[in-house]
Amino acid sequence: MVITVVMDQYGNHANGTTAAARHFVQQMRNRGHAVRVVTCVDDKEDPNIHLVKEVQFPGFMKLIYSHGMVFGKPDKKVLREAFNGADIVHIFLPFFLARASKKIADDMGIASFISFHLPPEHITQNIRLGRARFITNCIHLHWRKMYNRFTHIHTPSEALKKILIRKGYKSNIHVVSNGIHPDFTPKEIEKPLELKDKFVIVMSGRLAREKLQNVLIQAVANSKYNNKIQVILCGGGMREKALQKLGDKILANKPIIKFCTREELVNILNYADLYVHTSEVEAEAIACMEAFACGKVPIISDSELSATSQFARYPQNKFKNKNITDLTAKIEWFIENPDRLKEMSEEYAEYAKNFSLSICADRLEDILLRVIAEHKEKQNAIC
């Protein structure tokens, strides 16, 4: 196949959707497919980038960049060049570039396919509107018109599929996990000397409002084991200073907050004792999956807007959304039951094999081939 991927922020490594797109591109290339990428964030290591300009929103760019977002400006010449000779166009985000790409792909007689990675609640949470159902419904109404122009949609979780069906998306919806990179695997990693006597709890992901890392900090501060626990937050984002200030104030051990390379994150996950995922809005949460692939037992928010709770295999792996007392109790249970923690660790490492990047890429490849075949049938029928 010749695949053209349309992903606004492909060269920006700071969010999960970008990671999913980059993993998809690499996996398809590993299988011998030619993959081109249309983006407004360059990746100089990739020779098959087709670059468009950014859409500018004066006065809001700092806020947009702080969330790892950019928006590609449609350029018909660039898009036609990137699509020429392609078998399929795979779109990752539903913004200006996506709409233009769908129209041009249709005009050129090329099959197209779209993924749904971004729940509208991500947007309303990050502009301080909470769940704001009226606004999220308006976003769904706007997006639904475009998504329903595609015969097939990919989404990474059953929870998100249910939301799309409930909101009136009519296309065939395929659930395929974004997959776990093979680097995330159990390893024997010694804790740093300064953490030898600490129970290390880690959470990874953007430091953003909907991720609610403050709930973890408050839960640890509320624990009788506060003196024993070290919190590590792996990620970057606009909430970093606020979280550091809160943690410095109420935790016995100041939290370690930093953006990590993949190698650093793998090491931290392997020497940590427990993983906590407090996020209220998630399409899948690769961060949590990477953690349990390293054998870390998770405690996950049961938020109705988060798909991550699907990975809670036992009652102890889930806590009531935003409920600090409940999260504290779950953390203390694991501290007091080290044998059960060890057993669950082994179970989770085995469970993670179901979500290997290779297996998930195979499933997506099959869907792309199906979309192309159906498109050719329609083209032949017209002729």
The model's pLDDT over 111-132, given as tens digits with 9 standing for 90+, comes to 999 999 888 877 776 655 555 6
Decide which of 3.10.20.80, 3.40.50.2000, 2.40.50.200, 3.50.50.60 is the CATH code for 2-179+356-382. 3.40.50.2000
CA atoms within 13 A on the CB side of 32: 0
The model's pLDDT over 18-32, given as tens digits with 9 standing for 90+, comes to 889 999 999 999 999
**Residue 73 — left, alpha, or beta (φ > 0 → left; ψ -120 to 50 → alpha)?**
beta
pTM: 0.84
CA-based radius of gyration for the chain: 21
The CATH T-level fold of domain 193-355 is Rossmann fold (3.40.50)
Helices (H), the chain: 16-30, 61-66, 76-83, 96-107, 120-126, 133-147, 158-166, 213-221, 240-250, 262-271, 286-293, 324-336, 338-351, 357-382
Q: What is the mean pLDDT of each run of 10 residues along the chain (383 residues)?
A: 96 80 95 97 90 86 71 96 98 94 97 91 65 78 93 93 92 94 95 96 90 97 98 92 97 96 96 96 87 97 89 96 97 98 97 93 96 92 73
Which residues have C-beta within 8 Å of that of residue 299, sequence separation ≥ 6? 274, 275, 276, 277, 316, 317, 318, 319, 327, 330, 331, 334
Residue type, 99: R
List, by residue range, all CATH 3.40.50.2000 domains of the chain.
Answer: 2-179+356-382, 193-355
